[in-house]
Structure 1
Amino acid sequence: MLVFLIHVRDPQFYAVPADGRAENGNLRIMGFPPIGIMSLSAVLKRAGHECVMFDQANSETPNQVIVEQIRTRRPDLVGLSFLSTTSYPYAKILARQIRAVDSKVRVAIGGVFATLNAPLVKLQCSEVDFVCRGDGEQLILDLVDQLDNPAAVAGLTWARDGQVVNNPDRAVERDLDQWPFPDRESLALDFIESMPLDVPTVLSMDRFTTMQTSRGCPWPCVFCDIPVFNQSKWRSRSPEHVLAEFNHLKEHGYGAVYFVDDHFLLQPKRIEAICKGLIESGPTIHWGCEGRVDSVAQHLFPAMAKANCRTLMFGIESGSQKILDRLKKEQTLKEVETAVTNAKRAGIEIVHGFFTVGNPDETVADLRATFDFAARLPLDTFNFNRLCVYRGTPLWQEYVRRNLVDEARDWFKYFKCSEIDPTCLPGEVINRERSAGFRRIFRYKLLHYPLQTVRLLRRFTRFMPMRDVVYLILKPFFGKPRGPTAAETLSRAVEHAELKDSAAALTQVSDAMFEQAIAESQAQRALIQPGS
């Protein structure tokens, strides 16, 4: 069978084009490759099926090109894959465009959001034939074998005689070694490694990819839907399988890889075996990962550094123990300090901290404590994002009980907590304190960590224009610019995502308004391009 797989991206997460092309002629972009569809493509091809992949990060294959390919090639199945709530409106629009050119092609949709909202998605988006729940590897194999009789496909939501049918859940697959390595070479894109900062921050021009060595996280953080999606289970690949994929990546010229595991630092013996194998094979690929600060594997940080671990990211969230407890992080400020310090002492080049602001019950004092705490930590990089609430998380359920969100009306939306929770600080206060906090952090880092700061900036200037590096440093000291109009905000968020805070608003507008905004923005770009 012929299967098309499309990775649907929210434009605020679109990869930013890098200069030029790779030696193989591929377009080079900054961002994370679509490991989900790459994994499914490898599984399908091993089973003898033909598979074609598209990534919406590729400017050379916009929706029009993808839809035209579907019209001319008539695939048996089109799979739309996406992760977040903010990508759902784009998936709906694409499904309608596909259905308009081919009334018979089967359309499936999958990912975390689709899994957690399967019956509702099927009811709202009739153009989608199948909603796939949970892991997709065996599910898609079963589906292509039983397209005309999907009743026996576990983990599938579909419709029969106008009624939504939820097939039984698929058993959680623990043997992850059975699946082939992702089909990276069939997508005409090359990715380069970058950091999630306010301006595109390139770490190297090496060929970059991602790898998943484990799935799931059992901790109960209130803002996270990962435990629900993975049924609070953690599953891992064997060290031997991971090392074999590293050798595979070396053979294909990759120089950097990031583990997209929800929590890599969970099983010390497994980490030790992976590091041992990388060291013995003479590691040439730089890699990065993320994990919790309370990991019992911190004694292995030196081995990780020796095995070429360059980047380690921690979900720190807050510098207030009260807020950490409110978010059910089950970690302490002392554990944060210990983990970050141990990582830097071990020789990890870049240690990054994720923080949230605008948390429930957070005061100005809590917010200031967070920025002061971040300043004191020997972190290399950091970002502070507004906390948002999504359906499927414990915080969403709390907000339903408190009548802050309506389960029936709001299930496909997401909200900044500060916009709906009266226990949160107002948005203008959060923005003011965040700007002031950034200024304090930069001053503190320059005074107390000058060598660390200089080394980091030297790395940035290898691959970034100096103006971007200067902007990254000086941005917190700029005055507040004049804001765009409401129409500009919507247009930019749809096409360019210049304002990340607009993403939440986009999930809350009607489909008709959403499609009109896309059309108007595209028309404006078409007028501008000829003279550019």
Structure 2
Amino acid sequence: MRVILATPPEYRQLTTPAQVLGPPIGLLYIASYARHYGYLSRTKSVLEVFDAFTLHMKHERFVKNIVMKKPDVLGVSVTSRMFPVTMASLEKIHAALPETRIVLGGIHPTFMAENIVKTFPFVDCVIKGEAERSFSELLISYSDNDQDISHIRGITALRDDKIIDSEPDTIMDIDEIPFPARDLVEDISYGYTWNGLDLTFGKFTSIVTGRGCPFACNFCTNWRFSNRQLRIRSVENVVSELELLKTQGYGSCVILDDIFTADKERVKKICEEIKRRDIDIVLYCEGRVDTADPEMFRNMKEAGFSSILFGVESGSQKILDYYQKHTTPAQAKIAVANAKAADLLVIGAFIIGAPVETIDDLKETLAHISELDFDALEVNALGIAPWDMLYVKAMNAGKVGREDWMRDHLVSDYYDNLTKEDIAKWVEKAYYAFFRTDFVHILRRTIKFISSRDGRNAIVKNLMNPYLWRLVLERGKPRHKIEEILMLGTETMHSISVK
């Protein structure tokens, strides 16, 4: 069999300031599992990963490429924002290749699985949740032409007008999952650009050291996807993958875990093992502000960590409580100070547009942004999708229909506390609060940037880049289009600005 695992293209080309493009790590895990445990050889399958998203491919070309490749099985990971246009593309593929079995996965299909198989008959099945074992077993059924797939965990399908639906699979010992099959996308360059500047230092990839999240922030769905089951890889397993990445020529790597810093002792052991093996690779991660231990940050810096992103979300305690964040503005202040003391670059992430947010709350957020010494800022307009708690609240309040499940939504579509224009305006104001204009502050940040290795490399790398000089003339302030600020869904624009 010929098997393709694909990411669909973006529904339109964007000119957002930040573009962080990492490999489709979920698909690469599925591929490595099927290959490592013999499912590909048993089914005589050839597997390919087709990352149309990173290739900035138009949907017409995506359809043409898939039809030309003629896969027997096409697995597609699709997000809420891209769902409608992706389904239109898959319908065209099905019309040209009616024998190709189309399988969907990802967060949106996981929570809308039954609706999908009832509405789109060309979808053979949906895999809910983690798909490594489920997809591999599905290949066996397809190879044997076995129509009974009810024994496979995580499957939703329509057979003889009856719904087959099984509980999602959860791999408890995630050390048993082979490292992602990065060789399947080795011809694609991944990395990070901001306002046209190339800020990728060396060959770039991503890594997952744990799955799941025990928290339940109501703007996020990762905890529902994993059923709040936190599973972590062993220190040996994590560092062995980093060591392999270094031998493969990777120079930088982002850790995708939701709460990498939750266990400071584990982080310390990972850092010590990185230093013991002399692994020279630049690392980035996210962290919660209530797990901001000074010693942990010092260990991270010594092990090669360059930056950390904190999901601060708001400067208003009322809004943090509404989001069920279980953090405080005071904790954010301490976290930023501790990370900065360890000489880590600190990115602050905020959300604008909560249904209960008032002008006073927004003013508190702007004051918080001005007070905290961030090196970069990310501000998102809040969106809701059919699988998160904000959507459920809106649906229960009669503000959104149960049938409107094929896309994500902007909060302002259903609540009148802030209009779309208000949200866009306050996103802009947040960035302006970030850019302090006093001479001493600018001079201090400039000296620190130039004195850092990454800063010097960025300047040299982009010396002839016209975008650099445009940013100098504009003092680096972001220039957003309103439709980009208001991109729908929890997968909204990640517009990071840097000082």
Aligned equivalent of 2:497: none
7 and 219 in structure 1: CA distance in 2 versus 1, 3 angstrom threshold: same
- Aligned counterparts of 1:472 and 1:176: Cα–Cα separation in 2: 47
Q: Larger deviation: 360-369 or 300-309?
A: 360-369
Q: What is the DSSP-based 3-state SS (H/G/I as helix, E as strand, rest coil) of the residue aligned with 1:186?
A: helix
Number of residue equivalences? 471
Instruction: Verify: 1:291 aligned to 2:287, yes or no.
Output: yes
Instruction: Verify: 1:371 aligned to 2:366, yes or no.
Output: yes
Residue type of the partner of 2:428?
Answer: S
Task: Answer whether contact 1:390 1:415 (CA < 8 A) is retained.
Answer: yes
Q: What is the DSSP-based 3-state SS (H/G/I as helix, E as strand, rest coil) of the residue aligned with 2:357?
A: coil
User: What TM-score do the two structures reach when normalised by structure 2?
Assistant: 0.87
Aligned equivalent of 1:243: 239
Residue type of the partner of 2:332?
Answer: V
The equivalences for 1:445-484 within 5 A come to 447-448=440-441, 450-456=443-449, 458=455, 460-464=458-462, 465=465, 466-470=468-472, 473-475=475-477
Instruction: Verify: 1:90 aligned to 2:63, yes or no.
Output: no
468 and 230 in structure 1: CA distance in 2 versus 1, 3 angstrom threshold: farther
- Aligned counterparts of 1:471 and 1:122: Cα–Cα separation in 2: 53
State, as a whole percentage, how many aligned pairs show the same letter. Answer: 28
Task: Answer whether contact 1:133 1:157 (CA < 8 A) is retained.
Answer: yes
- Aligned counterparts of 1:323 and 1:60: Cα–Cα separation in 2: 36
Aligned equivalent of 1:155: 154
Aligned equivalent of 1:382: 377
TM-superposed deviation, 1:34 = 1.0
Aligned equivalent of 1:5: 5
Instruction: Verify: 1:501 aligned to 2:486, yes or no.
Output: yes
Instruction: Verify: 1:51 aligned to 2:47, yes or no.
Output: yes
TM-superposed deviation, 1:454 = 4.5
Residue type of the partner of 1:470?
Answer: V
102 and 463 in structure 1: CA distance in 2 versus 1, 3 angstrom threshold: same
Q: Which runs of 5+ in 2 are unaligned?
A: 493-499
- Aligned counterparts of 2:260 and 2:323: Cα–Cα separation in 1: 21
Instruction: Verify: 1:339 aligned to 2:338, yes or no.
Output: no
Task: Answer whether contact 2:246 2:279 (CA < 8 A) is retained.
Answer: no
What root-mean-square deviation, in Å, do the aligned CA atoms of Structure 1 and Structure 2 show?
Answer: 2.8
Task: Answer whether contact 1:375 1:444 (CA < 8 A) is retained.
Answer: no
The equivalences for 1:115-264 within 5 A come to 115-147=110-142, 148=146, 149-166=148-165, 168-194=166-192, 199-264=195-260
Task: Answer whether contact 1:75 1:105 (CA < 8 A) is retained.
Answer: yes
Residue type of the partner of 2:477?
Answer: K
471 and 160 in structure 1: CA distance in 2 versus 1, 3 angstrom threshold: farther
Q: Which runs of 5+ in 1 are unaligned?
A: 19-28, 484-488, 490-498, 508-532
Q: Larger deviation: 41-50 or 178-187?
A: 41-50
Aligned equivalent of 2:99: 104
Q: Larger deviation: 359-368 or 317-326?
A: 359-368
Q: Larger deviation: 452-461 or 173-182?
A: 452-461
Aligned equivalent of 1:420: 414
User: What TM-score do the two structures reach when normalised by structure 1?
Assistant: 0.82
- Aligned counterparts of 1:156 and 1:326: Cα–Cα separation in 2: 34
- Aligned counterparts of 1:12 and 1:294: Cα–Cα separation in 2: 37
Question: Which is bigger in relative contact order (C-alpha 8 A, separation at least 6)?
Answer: 2
The equivalences for 1:386-405 within 5 A come to 386-405=381-400
Task: Answer whether contact 2:243 2:279 (CA < 8 A) is retained.
Answer: no
Q: What is the DSSP-based 3-state SS (H/G/I as helix, E as strand, rest coil) of the residue aligned with 1:473?
A: coil
Task: Answer whether contact 2:383 2:411 (CA < 8 A) is retained.
Answer: yes
CA offsets 1:375-404 (integer angstroms, 9 cap, x no match): 211110012111111122221111112111
Task: Answer whether contact 1:146 1:153 (CA < 8 A) is retained.
Answer: no
Q: What is the DSSP-based 3-state SS (H/G/I as helix, E as strand, rest coil) of the residue aligned with 1:379?
A: coil
Instruction: Verify: 1:36 aligned to 2:26, yes or no.
Output: yes
Residue type of the partner of 2:8?
Answer: V
262 and 420 in structure 1: CA distance in 2 versus 1, 3 angstrom threshold: same
TM-superposed deviation, 1:473 = 3.2
36 and 177 in structure 1: CA distance in 2 versus 1, 3 angstrom threshold: same
